[in-house]
């Protein structure tokens, strides 16, 4: 499961977005300095289709966990995030920066993004500067491997002091490992979420594209209040409400889809009478690595994988029909799993 931290300035609509994505019903503003956390299934119609074909007793979707942190102040950079909120954000895999965009004459999302980024940069600077000082002392004392740590942290400190997010600089793998010990917020993959008024819901794609060009960050646009209202309804009624406002792709689908791309994740599936399930795995994963997502024994005792693309198994009418038609491929340990692959792992331990 991957965590997406939700951050925003006051009145940005971030808690409303959190409720829209998770149905958590958190009061606006939340508890000062504390984090609200909720896990939700990632929408994937392929699970439903395969489940019907195989008459699976259970459907299991991949999960995403959202973390809503209160505590950003409007009083300028520094001290805007409470320690507990910082800790929760540092554990997140990616950040969703919520930017108010109620109307063209309202808040400027580009300015809000700059202010929010500065808040996160200051928080990182406070952490990295102390580490840089300690690493420099160890390097002067001749401690093994301290020279690299001191060099990397000094460079990171200087970038942050100039207001530059760490993700904007290039880092070698060993340098990134040093930085990850401090879990910098500005090194995490980030996306922007424009929080729109209901009246602008149908224009979400155009608003997102225009702002993305200015921000240089992947950007989606969501009518958060509308989707929070829809989240309180049964699924069919919710879909009807959103379609009435011209919304065809929900906020959860947009945010998770963008976060998954930033984190270089993809989805493979397993199916059968017991259950049909979606699994996230890093892009480029081999068949044994994908098997390990199911269970460590499957990776340890991996023999081979039976593989078919989702579209092919559906066209065949199910797994057994695909097997009878000779459509299943047998793949070895070197096979690189593709988006939408349906796998059956053969193993022995």
How high is the pLDDT of residue 75? 43
pLDDT digits (tens, 9 = 90+) for 176-203: 999 999 999 999 999 999 999 999 999 9
Digit-coded pLDDT (tens) for 214-259: 999 999 999 999 998 998 888 889 889 999 999 988 899 999 999 9
Q: Taking Cα atoms as reference points, which of 252, 255, 125, 111 lies closest to residue 190? A: 255
Architecture of the 284-347 domain: Roll (3.10)
Domain(s) of CATH 3.10.20.30: residues in the chain:
284-347
Distances in whole angstroms, Cα of residue 184 to Cα of each of 3, 55, 71, 118: 15, 46, 18, 13
Mean pLDDT, all residues of the chain: 91
pLDDT in tens, 103-119: 766 779 999 999 999 99
Q: What percent of the chain has pLDDT over 90?
A: 78
Instruction: Classify strands 275-282 and 265-270 as parallel, antiparallel or unpaired.
Output: antiparallel
Query: What residues have CB less than 8 Å from 146, skipping those under 6 apart?
Result: 135, 138, 139
CB 342 within 8 A of CB 308: yes
So what's the pLDDT on residue 231? 86
Asked if pLDDT for residue 18 goes beyond 50, the answer is: yes
Angle at 340 between CA 60 and CA 258, to 5 degrees: 80
CATH number attached to the domain at 1-46+62-265: 3.40.50.300
Residue limits of CATH 3.40.50.300 in the chain: 1-46+62-265
């Amino acid at each position: 499961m991957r965590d997406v931290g939700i951050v925003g300035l006051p009145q940005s609509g971030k808690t409303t977005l959190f409720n829209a994505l998770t149905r958590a019903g958190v009061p606006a503003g939340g508890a000062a300095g504390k984090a609200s956390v909720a896990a939700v299934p990632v929408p994937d119609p392929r699970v439903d289709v395969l489940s019907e074909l195989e008459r699976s007793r259970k459907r299991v979707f991949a999960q995403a966990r959202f973390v809503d942190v209160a505590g950003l102040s409007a009083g300028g950079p520094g001290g805007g995030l409470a320690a507990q909120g910082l800790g929760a954000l540092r554990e997140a895999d990616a950040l969703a920066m919520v930017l108010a965009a109620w109307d063209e004459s309202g808040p400027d999302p580009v300015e809000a993004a700059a202010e929010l980024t500065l808040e996160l940069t200051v928080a990182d600077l406070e952490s990295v500067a102390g580490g840089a000082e300690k690493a420099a002392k160890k390097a002067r004392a001749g401690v093994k491997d301290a020279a690299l740590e001191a060099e990397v942290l000094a460079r990171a400190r200087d970038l942050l002091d100039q207001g530059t997010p760490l993700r904007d600089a290039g880092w070698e793998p060993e340098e990134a490992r040093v930085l990850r010990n401090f879990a910098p917020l500005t090194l995490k993959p980030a996306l922007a979420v424009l929080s729109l008024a209901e009246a602008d819901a149908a224009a979400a794609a155009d608003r997102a594209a225009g702002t993305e060009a200015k921000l240089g960050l992947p950007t989606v646009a969501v009518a958060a209040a509308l989707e929070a209202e829809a989240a309180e309804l049964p699924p069919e009624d919710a879909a009807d409400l959103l379609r009435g406002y011209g919304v065809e792709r929900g906020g959860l689908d947009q945010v998770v889809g963008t976060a998954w791309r930033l984190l270089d994740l993809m989805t493979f599936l397993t199916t059968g009478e017991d259950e049909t399930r979606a699994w996230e795995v890093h892009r480029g994963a081999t068949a044994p690595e994908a098997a390990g997502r199911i269970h460590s024994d499957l990776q340890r005792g991996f023999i081979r994988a039976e593989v078919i693309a989702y579209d092919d198994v559906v066209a065949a009418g199910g797994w057994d029909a695909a097997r009878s038609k000779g459509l299943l491929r047998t793949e070895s340990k070197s096979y690189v799993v593709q988006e939408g692959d349906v796998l059956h792992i053969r193993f022995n331990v």
